[in-house]
Amino acid sequence: MITLALSKGRILKQTLPLLKEIGIELLDDPFISRKLIFSTNRNDIQCVVIRATDVPTYVQFGAADLGIVGKDGLMEHDGGGLCELLDLQISKCRLMTAVRVDDVGVPRDQKRIRVASKYVKSAQAYYQARGVQAEIIKLYGAMELAPLVGLADEIVDLVETGSTLKANNLVAQELIANISCRLIANAAAMRVKHQRISPLLKSLEEVVANNAKADLLAIEG
């Protein structure tokens, strides 16, 4: 049995069609069912549906052989034992800094700035690399509120269309990383279950490549 850890929410909505293209379908609707472990139409594959932040942990410790998670989750994860196998090119967005519209173009002074973010590790690495003294305040949601009430000077968050920032009088500034979903594997499982994982990886590689070609033709045509 191969266990595949799937991220809940928006990522799951884009993951299920991708799995269907390689012949894997969950037997119950994960958006309705209260189950956490889902059988599939293949008796050698089962899926667990969990929070995206937990996917790398489940895979690292072998509770799941494979996982699908955003690159932002991997950047924040502390721990080894993982192999990043494939960029699935779904759930694309950008990890960016953002400030109030009124602060655009205002240079950072030498004092320590405060930055609100859920992505503490990524934010710390980004500001340190640029020689900016930043105090990172960890928030789990409503990031856009922090600069508006004086909690932070800037935020670091995922940006897809920028509409939420605009609605709150903020604007994206600096790109930290382009984000998309990745297929990851437990390092030990890659050795022990290599013959069963390899066909899945190859099928996904073909689907991703074909989808990329289709997108390019759509743009050109």
Alpha carbon distance 134, 126 (integer Å): 10
Question: Does residue 107 share a domain with residue 77?
Answer: no
The domain in which residue 174 lies consists of: 93-179
Q: What is the mean pLDDT of residues 95-122?
A: 88
- Cross-sheet strand order for the sheet of 154-159: 134-138, 113-117, 154-159, 93-100, 170-179
pLDDT value at position 190?
Answer: 93
Alpha carbon distance 156, 133 (integer Å): 15
Question: Does residue 123 share a domain with residue 137?
Answer: yes
Question: Does residue 195 share a domain with residue 174?
Answer: no
Beta bridge pairs of residue 100 = 170
Query: Residue 23 — very low, low, confident or very high, per pLDDT cuts 50/70/90?
Result: very high
- pLDDT, tens digit, 9 for 90 and up, residues 184-195: 999 999 999 999
Question: Does residue 7 share a domain with residue 82?
Answer: yes
Q: What is the mean pLDDT of residues 149-159?
A: 95
Q: Please choose, from the candidates 81, 35, 44, 40, the residue with its C-alpha nearest in 3D space to the C-alpha of residue 62.
A: 81
Question: Does residue 62 share a domain with residue 120?
Answer: no
Residue 220 has pLDDT above 70, yes or no: no
Q: What is the mean pLDDT of residues 4-11?
A: 95
Query: Residue 112 — very low, low, confident or very high, per pLDDT cuts 50/70/90?
Result: confident
Domain count, the chain: 2
**Residue 87 burial by CB count (10 A; 0-12/13-18/19+): exposed, middle or buried?**
middle
Q: What is the mean pLDDT of the chain?
A: 93
Residue 214 has pLDDT above 90, yes or no: no
Contact 187, 85 (CB under 8 A): no
Question: Does residue 187 share a domain with residue 168?
Answer: no
Nearest 5 degrees, angle CA 58-CA 61-CA 64? Answer: 45
pLDDT value at position 108?
Answer: 73
Question: Does residue 97 share a domain with residue 82?
Answer: no
CATH of the domain at 23: 3.40.190.10
Query: Residue 158 — very low, low, confident or very high, per pLDDT cuts 50/70/90?
Result: very high
Question: Does residue 139 share a domain with residue 84?
Answer: no
Residue 110 has pLDDT above 90, yes or no: no
